[in-house]
């Protein structure tokens, strides 16, 4: 088109050639039927992302290819759908009203759960007379070995049991969740007691009895926490907590200590039994096989055993990584509490570190929900995968920083308030924060559905720490820093690898 138009002879050069006008439709002609159909289906066509959606609508309206050829002049529904898709401009309106966010959660409820997690630790103050005696061969206070063995067994079993019950709740079968807890909680209490007895050796019988009570409490508390009865659990623990605080500042008779411990344990066990009472009544009409079926892979016995398909039952092996994560993280937390004893620099267990980590689980849960809420908002606002990764990475840094700040404050507060606690040094504080990163990123990977990766990393870190300390290869604090740092780096890398995947945030 760089040259001039060819002009006919006898015309002036500045005269443009005649361009005939396009013929208009005659006045007697009717409107285009395709335009009419586009106007009628305007909202649906504008929101469609592919012509096949429009073709599906046309076919659902009963339009055959013969009718489409006769009325609209297109060969079939797909050709008509493509024509409609081209004629209507794309419009994707935002949903009316506020966007639903399933990750919204109240801060007070999360803080309450953190307090409920930590309050049982005051029971060790009241149970001190049961743990009296000389130190064992490892330099640990009397009764520590059976307590630790029972606690690890309980954490492992109850993590898997809680996931099993939550799986049933996710399927909408609360009765099956109750049945799994009805059978699984006593089994967990029995296992914890047997493990504590096996690890007791020459320990005082009082320490073994205390460890058995600890196992029973962990089982009953799991029932209440899974079924959302945190407030009831808090009420049952308050008398024991008040007695423990009084024992810190004033001598309390041993009989009163024992009464407070047994009273709180009985109250928690009774509340747990009331929660699973409907399952007890159901099993009374049939047999305990339904309870085992809800706990084991034969979970086809749901609310209606005769009609629930076998494929609807949660996969039993899916609960195993959660149990392993409970074991690995529990070992890491115990080493953080026993570091000074193992190093020989202090004769008391560093309870403030364990208490700070336990209390921090409340803010950790809330910040995890904040991250998932922020990632959901980023998924709606981002147009590319790179933008989405940057948005979620920014939210991740903010939430992780907030959690570490809360853990830092709790670590300083518990060390300052706990009697005869070792001072907070740089290595202790760094190890506590690195362990916090391990726990928080592990929980985040669980929410991403990558619980197996988190469980493997935590178990390997726990194994490496155990082997290194058993071989006396270095100071427990220095070894802990290295192991915690390596585990934190690996877990952070796994999290960063999943940040940009939209499917991980579902």
Rounded to whole angstroms, how far apart are CA atoms 65 and 69?
6
Rounded to whole angstroms, how far apart are CA atoms 281 and 274?
11
Task: Supply the pLDDT for residue 299.
Answer: 41
CB 347 within 8 A of CB 368: no
Task: Supply the pLDDT for residue 310.
Answer: 45
CB 242 within 8 A of CB 252: no
CB 133 within 8 A of CB 142: yes
DSSP 399-467: HHHHHHHHHHHHHHHHHHHSTTPPP--HHHHHHHHHHHHHHHHHHHHHHTT-HHHHHHHHHHHHHHHHH
Phi and psi based region of residue 389 (left: phi greater than 0; alpha: psi -120 to 50; beta: remaining): alpha
Task: Supply the pLDDT for residue 316.
Answer: 79
CB 254 within 8 A of CB 191: no
Whose structure tokens read 């009316």? 96
Task: Supply the pLDDT for residue 386.
Answer: 85
List Cβ neighbours of 136 (8 Å cut-off, separation of 6 or more): 142, 144, 145, 201, 203
* Token representation of residue 342: 């193992």
Task: Supply the pLDDT for residue 145.
Answer: 83
What secondary structure letter does DSSP report for 276? T
Task: Supply the pLDDT for residue 142.
Answer: 64
Task: Supply the pLDDT for residue 428.
Answer: 80
**Alpha helices, DSSP H, located in 171-204:** 174-200
* Token representation of residue 269: 């066990």
User: What angle do helix axes 426-447 and 476-499 make, rounded to 10 degrees?
Assistant: 30
Task: Supply the pLDDT for residue 494.
Answer: 93
Rounded to whole angstroms, how far apart are CA atoms 363 and 404?
10
Task: Supply the pLDDT for residue 5.
Answer: 41
Rounded to whole angstroms, how far apart are CA atoms 115 and 230?
10
Task: Supply the pLDDT for residue 25.
Answer: 47
Rounded to whole angstroms, how far apart are CA atoms 434 and 440?
10
Please report the sign of the dihedral spanned by the C-alpha atoms of residue 286, residue 289, residue 295, residue 299: negative
Q: How are the residues of the chain apportioned to helix, strand and coil, as percentages rounded to the nearest 5?
A: 70, 0, 30
In tens digits, the chain (506 residues) has pLDDT values of: 444 444 445 544 454 444 444 445 454 455 788 888 888 888 888 888 889 989 998 888 888 888 888 888 888 989 999 999 998 888 866 666 677 777 888 888 888 888 898 888 888 888 878 776 666 656 666 677 888 899 999 999 999 999 999 999 988 888 888 988 988 999 999 999 999 888 887 767 888 888 899 999 999 999 999 998 999 999 999 999 999 888 888 888 889 889 999 999 999 999 999 998 887 666 554 445 555 555 665 444 444 444 444 446 678 788 899 999 999 999 999 888 776 666 555 545 556 788 889 889 999 999 999 999 888 888 878 778 888 888 899 999 999 999 999 999 998 888 877 766 666 667 788 888 999 999 999 999 998 888 999 999 999 999 999 898 888 777 777 888 899 999 999 999 999 988 888 777 77
Q: What is the pTM of this model?
A: 0.76
Distance of CA 486 to the CA centre of its chain: 22
- CA-nearest of 476, 122, 156 to 329 is 156
Rounded to whole angstroms, how far apart are CA atoms 488 and 440?
9
């Amino acid at each position: 088109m760089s040259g001039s138009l060819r002009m006919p002879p006898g015309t002036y050069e500045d005269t443009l050639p005649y361009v005939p006008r396009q013929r208009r439709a005659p006045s007697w002609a009717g409107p285009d039927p395709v335009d009419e159909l586009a106007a009628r289906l305007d909202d649906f066509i504008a929101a469609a992302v592919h012509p096949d959606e429009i073709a599906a609508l046309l076919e659902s309206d009963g339009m055959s290819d013969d009718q489409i050829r006769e009325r609209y002049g297109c060969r079939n529904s797909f050709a008509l759908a493509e024509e409609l898709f081209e004629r209507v401009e794309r419009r994707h309106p935002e949903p009316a009203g506020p966007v639903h966010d399933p990750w919204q959660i109240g801060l007070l409820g999360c803080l309450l759960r953190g307090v409920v997690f930590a309050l049982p630790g005051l029971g060790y103050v009241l149970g001190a007379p049961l743990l009296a005696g000389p130190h064992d061969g490892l330099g640990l206070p009397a009764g520590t070995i059976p307590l630790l063995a029972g606690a690890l067994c309980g954490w492992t079993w109850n993590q898997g049991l809680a996931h099993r019950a939550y799986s049933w709740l996710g399927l909408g079968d609360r009765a099956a969740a109750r049945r799994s807890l009805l059978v699984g909680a006593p089994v967990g209490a029995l296992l914890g007691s047997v493990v504590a007895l096996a690890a007791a050796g020459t320990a005082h019988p009082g320490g073994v009895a205390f460890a058995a009570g600890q196992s029973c409490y962990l089982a009953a508390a799991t029932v209440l926490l899974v079924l959302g009865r945190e407030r009831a659990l808090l009420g049952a623990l308050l008398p024991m907590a008040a007695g423990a605080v009084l024992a810190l500042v004033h001598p309390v008779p041993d009989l009163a200590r024992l009464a407070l411990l047994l009273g709180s344990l009985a109250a928690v066990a009774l509340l747990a039994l009331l929660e699973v009472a409907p399952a007890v009544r159901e099993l009374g009409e049939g047999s305990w096989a339904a309870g085992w079926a809800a706990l084991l892979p034969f979970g086809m016995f749901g609310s209606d055993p005769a009609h629930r398909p076998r494929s609807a039952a949660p996969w039993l092996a899916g609960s195993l990584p959660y149990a392993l994560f409970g074991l690995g993280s529990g070992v890491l937390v115990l080493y953080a509490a026993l570091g000074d004893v193992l190093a020989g620099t202090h004769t008391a267990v560093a309870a403030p570190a364990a208490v700070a980590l336990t209390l921090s689980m409340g803010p950790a849960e809330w910040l995890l929900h904040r991250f998932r809420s922020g990632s959901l908002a980023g998924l709606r606002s981002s147009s590319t995968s790179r933008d989405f990764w940057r948005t979620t990475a920014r939210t991740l840094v903010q939430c992780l920083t907030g959690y570490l700040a809360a853990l830092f404050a709790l670590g300083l507060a518990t060390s300052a308030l706990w009697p005869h606690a070792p001072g907070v040094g740089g290595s202790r504080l760094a190890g506590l924060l690195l362990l916090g990163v391990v726990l928080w990123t592990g929980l985040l990977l669980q929410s991403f559905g990558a619980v197996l990766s988190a469980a493997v990393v935590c178990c390997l870190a726990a194994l490496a720490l155990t082997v290194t300390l058993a071989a006396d290869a270095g100071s427990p604090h220095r070894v802990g820093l290295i192991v915690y740092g390596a585990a934190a780096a690996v877990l952070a890398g796994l999290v960063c690898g999943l940040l940009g995947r939209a499917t991980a945030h579902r």
